[in-house]
Chains A and B, each alone.
Chain A
Amino acid sequence: MNMERIIFLLLFGSTAIWFAWRVFMTKSMIRSALSLLASMVAIGILFLVMQAEFLGVLHIMMMATEMTIMAIFMMMFMMDPGGMGDMDMSHQKKYSSVFAFLSGASYAAAILFTQWPITADAVPAPAQQNHDLGIELMQRSMMIFETAGVSILVAMIAATATALSFNSVNK
């Protein structure tokens, strides 16, 4: 791995962590959601730095709509979405910080003590990666992805159906 790539990995890795930190440090719900989006974009750029073009672009694309939808739901359900009323919406601070520290430490330990397989010497060209990914999705992993896709679709239809009021159904 060359030097430039390591520098970019460190740069965008720390950007991701910084924005993840901002998610919890702001009182505005919209800022919080879009900070999470920025963090996710930084992770998408990490994919690009590691020459996984398709995964990176896909990650960056999906997160834009997901996080903005999350933003509108937080705005609808929170009492003080703009954070202008100076309302403290956090709770159980001690428990959550202890839990966060422990889980972070266990992730770090898992990363450090795992015997990672030797990384590939050469990365396939982006077009070849797209091809390989397609073959993988349509052969070995097809069952997993189809199951996940159908379950999400069912959940979406069920959620919409339960959200409809009786009056609108009976009309």
Chain B
Amino acid sequence: MWILLIGLYLFSVYFLSVLERRMVYKKWNFAAPFSTLAFLLVQEDVKPHQRDRIFYETAPVLFIAAALMAVGVLPFAKGFIITGLSTGALFINAAFAYIMVAIVMAGWAPNGVYSMIGGWRFLAQLIAYSMPIVMAITATVMRAESMSLVNIVASQTHLWNIIYQPVGFVLFYVAAMALAFLPPFDLPLAPGELAEGVWAEFTGVKLLLFRLGRLMLILSLSLAVTVLFLGGWEGPLLPGFAWTFIKTILVAASFFLCGQYVPRVQHDDLLEWSWKLLTPLALFNILWVGILLLL
């Protein structure tokens, strides 16, 4: 059971990295993740001058740990879960908040201008976009009358949340992309402008931890979209975990696809949209779900 679960997570991460590569280079390459892994493991560890030693070492570890904690409470199927918390819906928010702490630490530590700009940018970005995330989750919790993620899936047996609260889905989807700093929201990295920003000064194993953590983060967010809005493991014929896997991969593929066709958003516009548009919409969504529940 445990081996199966860990195997499923590892395979999902592997498949996501293959998928991301396919989306960028338009070519399937199933060996690429392994060669990148081998390359980063042996790459020379170049350390910047006058860095903050503690943060430089801990930031990548905190980043991947936060992503792993989020994955740890998200169920793949009934009983297919590492820890079933009864405050799961709140816990994933807590884990995502530490992604931001890790990125701010990583931006500060190397004593470089580009990384620092990237780090502080992500602080503003995450605080703005965690509002729609938290409020969209709140609306799903309201419907399930429970913060346990298993119960949230159970509440969608008859009607998925994507139909019950479409506004919440759109908010969560957009905010999830901003949280995983995927293009068009890749402001902390911003290749071409900040030259990989936050990660610019990291090499070797530390960069590997960041990249793996990012894949884990994308996995956890697409899994969260599946669990909260797409009915989790509900589906005919196939076993539950297969449905979750298919839905999760499709959500992740749609994330990558959006990033390809939408240009990067300007920083001030990004914040303005969140505070002036998405946050009021999220409040409206809570009202909407409340009215539906009372009818």
By secondary structure, the B interface counts as: helix
Docked pose: A61 CA to B147 CA in angstroms: 15
> Which chain B residues border A82 with CB–CB below 8 Å?
52, 111
Q: Which of B94, B127, B146 contacts A61 (CB 8 A)?
A: B94
* A10 in contact (CB, < 8 A): no
A68-79: CB near B (< 8 Å → 1, else 0) gives 110110000000
Check A54/B127 contact, CB under 8 A, given A68-B104, A84-B50.
no
B residues in contact with A67, CB < 8 Å? 101
**Beyond A34-B105, A127-B146, is A61–B90 a contact (Cβ under 8 Å)?**
yes
| B108 interfacial by beta-carbon distance below 8 Å | yes
Q: Is A157 an interface residue (CB 8 A)?
A: no
Given contacts A31-B52, A54-B90, A72-B123, contact A61 B97 (CB under 8 A): yes
Residues of A close to B148: CB separation below 8 A: 127
- Count of A-B residue pairs with CB < 8 Å: 65
Which size class do A's interface residues fall under?
20 to 34
Q: Would you call B100 an interface residue if the criterion is a C-beta within 8 Å of the partner chain's C-beta atoms?
A: yes
Q: Taking CB as reference atom, which chain B residue is nearest A67? A: B101
Interface residues of A in 82-133 (CB under 8 A from B): 82, 84, 125-127, 130
A54 — which chain B residues lie within 8 A by C-beta?
A: 87, 90, 147
Contacts A61-B97, A64-B100 hold; do A72 and B120 have CB atoms under 8 A apart?
Answer: yes
Binding site for B on A (CB under 8 A): 28, 30-31, 34, 37, 53-54, 57-58, 60-61, 64-65, 67-69, 71-72, 82, 84, 125-127, 130
A to B CB contacts below 8 Å, 6 in the list: A31-B52, A54-B147, A57-B91, A65-B126, A65-B130, A84-B50
